[in-house]
């Protein structure tokens, strides 16, 4: 089973939320004040009704009802306006924080090292930026505004009851320990289940994605039933957790109802005794009872939406876990540019599982502007070395430097300005072709794009498209051949204009027919750059300034093509076998 990305603990999650609200302190305080006014206006009709009861008992004239109606109407208008405005402010504030969190999470996800993505799988990532964001978004829109209003109503109602008479206030507070006990019973039991439910949803997404991505292999080997069993098992686990937490919630709701009954009964009994003792009036007791009864909805809102709050909290912790990963494992701060494009690997070692090394102490010096080819049999470690040189993989030991600056000391933006990698696995993004090219250089003009396409020999087929560079390509659009997709990737490389280029079998998908043309495109795209080529075809090695031969994660030979062929070593064997083909 895939590992998971880190999940923030409760302390870190709330710490992050407090810091975000602190960054928006003025807006947060204003939102709270508007919500407090709205809550206060909701209490005025109850208080006025209690005053009316006392006035009627004292024989007030019927005209008294006029000012009561006026006060209630005014409170309703002001309260309605403030409630609507407060709801808007809360949603706006929450959506702004969520948008920032979503962007930071996606940004970090896109910058994760390749080995991390492979280890955790795509399902966990997608469930975080998909399901978890949706859960929090629903809470921000539907739950949080009501939650804030409910908290303010409870606080202001208790303060008002204490203001009427402290004994009535204490009578109302009898229910609070019962609510607290209900929460204390519910939260420790439900929180782990909600967290497990979010994890189960990630596992379900991973099972679905892996089966869909490998659909051809699944069908070829008749593995449909086993994969369906895996998907069903993951879905059943998520379902069972959802049902289990709902069973907890129903018991929690029953405890809340008992607290409401005890609280209201206590207020009525205490009020009866206090009225008989002429300590409070009937109107004051009526106000206290109505205030407590009015709390049924907000307290119920606080308690009964805790399942959604818990779920949103679990989702928030998963997103903050990714953001914290960014803060803990981001690169250094060196941003200064240099004209020196020398690539140096010094004592590089790497292991994927922590036990077995696939690269053993490789040291390699590629001079500025030099073209070096990596060759070797399958499993020799060529792709790993290329990924380490490009900064896609952080080596277990050793260092990589460009122009004397360690890649570990570069910010992601500075790293990609200096080095770029093109592999055989090229993705064509859905949308206009020009937008696909601008991924490498967002400010590139159509003229820049045309020059890049021409440099790699792609201008002919692009011009022949119905809408040229505006043609929609990728999923749902014009389907590009493997060779065209590779040329598109090489054109991105030209636009990005890095000092160092890494080609990891970038011509492997072209097939024999288009290999020479694509090799010419790769040569043109990397001309003048320091280039490290993982040579799928040994004709690329023959054209390089120097050839480095890897076997079992070690350098066994290096030198110019003609020298190595004449030496009769491992490279000569590979070249002989290649010519024999």
Q: Compute the distance between CA of residue 382 and CA of residue 358 in angstroms, rounded to an integer.
A: 10
* Contacts of 435 by beta carbon, 8 Å cutoff, 6+ apart: 429
For the chain, the average pLDDT equals: 81
Taking 60 as the threshold, does the pLDDT of residue 329 lie above it?
A: no
Q: What is the mean pLDDT of residues 237-259?
A: 80
Taking 50 as the threshold, does the pLDDT of residue 516 lie above it?
A: yes
Give strand pairing partners of 402. Answer: 343, 405
Range with lowest mean pLDDT among 237-251, 384-398, 451-465: 237-251
Range with lowest mean pLDDT among 72-86, 315-329, 369-383: 315-329
Highest mean pLDDT among 25-39, 102-116, 509-523: 25-39
Q: Could you tell me the pLDDT band of residue 331, with boundaries at 50, 70 and 90?
A: very low
Please, what's the b/e burial string for 12-48 (b: 16 or more CB within 10 A of its CB; e: otherwise)?
A: bbeebeeebeeeeeeebeebeebbbbbbbbbbbbbbb
The architecture CATH gives domain 343-580: 3-Layer(aba) Sandwich (3.40)
Q: What is the mean pLDDT of residues 198-203?
A: 75
Fold of 1-164+309-324: ABC transporter transmembrane region fold (1.20.1560)
Q: Could you tell me the pLDDT band of residue 333, with boundaries at 50, 70 and 90?
A: very low
Q: What is the mean pLDDT of residues 510-526?
A: 75
Taking 50 as the threshold, does the pLDDT of residue 59 lie above it?
A: yes
Q: Output the CA torsion 530→378→424→548 (10° steps).
A: 10
Q: Say what the pTM is.
A: 0.54
pLDDT tens digits, residue range 422-432? 887 778 888 88
At residue 2, the pLDDT reads 46
At residue 332, the pLDDT reads 47
Q: What is the mean pLDDT of residues 483-508?
A: 84
CA angle 177, 182, 183 (to 5 degrees): 95
Start-to-end CA distance of the chain, whole Å, equals 41
Q: Pick from 137, 135, 125, 132: which is nearest to 6 by CA?
A: 125
Distance of CA 245 to the CA centre of its chain: 25
Q: Compute the distance between CA of residue 125 and CA of residue 203 in angstroms, rounded to an integer.
A: 10
Write the CA distances from 77 to 33, 74, 87, integer angstroms. Answer: 17, 5, 15
Range with lowest mean pLDDT among 32-46, 106-120, 216-230: 106-120
At residue 224, the pLDDT reads 76
At residue 179, the pLDDT reads 79
Range with lowest mean pLDDT among 214-223, 279-288, 433-442: 214-223
At residue 81, the pLDDT reads 93
Taking a C-beta distance cutoff of 8 angstroms, is the pair 494, 452 a contact? yes
* Contacts of 33 by beta carbon, 8 Å cutoff, 6+ apart: none
Percent of the chain with pLDDT over 90: 9
Taking 50 as the threshold, does the pLDDT of residue 270 lie above it?
A: yes
Q: What is the mean pLDDT of residues 47-71?
A: 77
Q: Could you tell me the pLDDT band of residue 484, with boundaries at 50, 70 and 90?
A: confident
Taking 90 as the threshold, does the pLDDT of residue 260 lie above it?
A: no
Q: Pick from 148, 150, 252: which is nearest to 193 by CA?
A: 252
Taking a C-beta distance cutoff of 8 angstroms, is the pair 407, 391 a contact? yes
Write the CA distances from 13 to 192, 266, 323, 368, integer angstroms. Answer: 15, 39, 10, 46
Taking a C-beta distance cutoff of 8 angstroms, is the pair 474, 467 a contact? no
Q: What is the mean pLDDT of residues 289-315?
A: 76
Write the CA distances from 546 to 48, 209, 347, 524, 573, integer angstroms. Answer: 92, 42, 20, 18, 17
Question: Which residue do the tokens 């998908």 mark?
Answer: 509
- DSSP secondary structure, 102-120, as one string: HHHHHHHHHHS-HHHHHHH
pLDDT tens digits, residue range 337-371? 456 788 999 999 998 877 888 999 899 999 988 99
Taking a C-beta distance cutoff of 8 angstroms, is the pair 302, 308 a contact? no
At residue 555, the pLDDT reads 92
Taking a C-beta distance cutoff of 8 angstroms, is the pair 571, 376 a contact? no
Domain limits, the chain: 1-164+309-324, 166-279, 343-580
At residue 307, the pLDDT reads 65
Q: Compute the distance between CA of residue 208 and CA of residue 230 in angstroms, rounded to an integer.
A: 9
- 1 versus 97: the higher-pLDDT residue is 97
Q: Compute the distance between CA of residue 298 and CA of residue 235 in angstroms, rounded to an integer.
A: 34
Highest mean pLDDT among 10-19, 302-311, 362-371: 362-371
- 55 versus 459: the higher-pLDDT residue is 459
Q: What is the mean pLDDT of residues 118-133?
A: 70
Q: What is the mean pLDDT of residues 139-162?
A: 83
Q: What is the mean pLDDT of residues 431-454?
A: 86
């Amino acid at each position: 089973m895939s590992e998971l990305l880190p999940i923030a603990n409760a302390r870190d999650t709330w710490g992050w939320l407090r810091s975000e609200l602190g960054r928006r302190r003025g807006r947060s305080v204003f939102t709270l004040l508007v919500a407090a006014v709205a809550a206060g206006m909701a209490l005025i009709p109850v208080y006025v009704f209690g005053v009316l009861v006392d006035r009627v008992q004292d024989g007030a004239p019927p005209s008294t009802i006029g000012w009561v109606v006026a006060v209630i109407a005014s409170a309703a208008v002001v309260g309605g306006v403030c409630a609507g405005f407060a709801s808007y402010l809360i949603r706006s504030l929450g959506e702004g924080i969520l948008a920032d969190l979503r962007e930071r999470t996606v940004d970090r996800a896109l910058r994760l090292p390749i080995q991390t993505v492979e280890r955790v799988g795509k399902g966990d990532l997608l469930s975080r930026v998909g399901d978890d964001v949706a859960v929090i978004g629903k809470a921000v829109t539907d739950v949080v505004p009501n939650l804030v209003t409910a908290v303010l109503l409870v606080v202001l109602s208790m303060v008002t009851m204490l203001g009427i008479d402290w004994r009535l206030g204490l009578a109302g507070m009898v229910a609070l320990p019962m609510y607290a006990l209900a929460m204390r019973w519910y939260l420790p039991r439900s929180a782990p289940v909600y967290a497990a439910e979010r994890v189960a949803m990630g596992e379900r997404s991973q099972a679905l994605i892996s089966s869909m991505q490998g659909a051809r292999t699944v069908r070829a080997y008749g593995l449909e039933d086993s994969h369906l069993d895996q998907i069903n098992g993951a879905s059943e686990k998520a379902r069972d957790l959802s049902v289990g937490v709902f069973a907890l919630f129903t018991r929690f709701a029953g405890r809340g109802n008992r607290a409401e009954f005890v609280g209201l009964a206590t207020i009525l009994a205490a009020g009866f005794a206090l009225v008989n003792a002429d300590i409070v009036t009937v109107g004051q007791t009526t106000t206290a009872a109505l205030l407590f009864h009015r709390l049924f909805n907000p307290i119920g809102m606080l308690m009964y939406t805790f399942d959604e709050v818990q779920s949103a909290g679990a989702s928030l912790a998963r997103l903050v876990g990714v953001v914290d990963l960014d803060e803990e494992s981001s690169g250094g701060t060196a941003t200064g540019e240099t004209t020196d494009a020398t690539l140096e690997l010094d004592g590089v070692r790497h292991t994927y599982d922590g036990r077995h090394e696939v690269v053993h102490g490789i040291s390699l010096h590629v001079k500025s502007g030099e073209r070096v080819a990596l060759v070797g049999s399958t499993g020799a470690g060529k792709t790993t070395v290329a990924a380490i040189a490009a900064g896609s993989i952080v080596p277990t030991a050793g260092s990589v430097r460009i122009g004397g600056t360690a890649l570990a000391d570069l910010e992601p933006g500075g790293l990609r300005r200096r080095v770029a990698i093109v592999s055989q696995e090229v993705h064509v993004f859905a949308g206009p072709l020009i937008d696909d090219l601008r991924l490498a250089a967002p400010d590139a003009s159509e003229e820049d794009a045309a020059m890049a396409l021409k440099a790699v020999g792609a201008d002919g087929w692009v011009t022949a498209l119905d809408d040229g560079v505006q043609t929609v390509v990728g999923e749902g659009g014009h389907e590009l051949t493997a060779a065209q997709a590779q040329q598109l990737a090489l054109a991105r490389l030209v636009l990005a204009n890095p000092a160092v280029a890494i080609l990891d079998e970038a011509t492997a998908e072209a097939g024999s027919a288009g290999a020479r043309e694509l090799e010419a495109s790769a040569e043109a795209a990397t001309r003048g750059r320091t280039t490290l080529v993982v040579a799928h075809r040994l004709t690329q090695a023959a054209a390089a300034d120097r050839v480095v031969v890897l076997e079992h994660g070690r350098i066994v030979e290096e030198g110019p093509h003609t020298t190595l062929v004449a030496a009769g070593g491992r490279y000569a064997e590979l070249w002989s076998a290649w010519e024999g083909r």
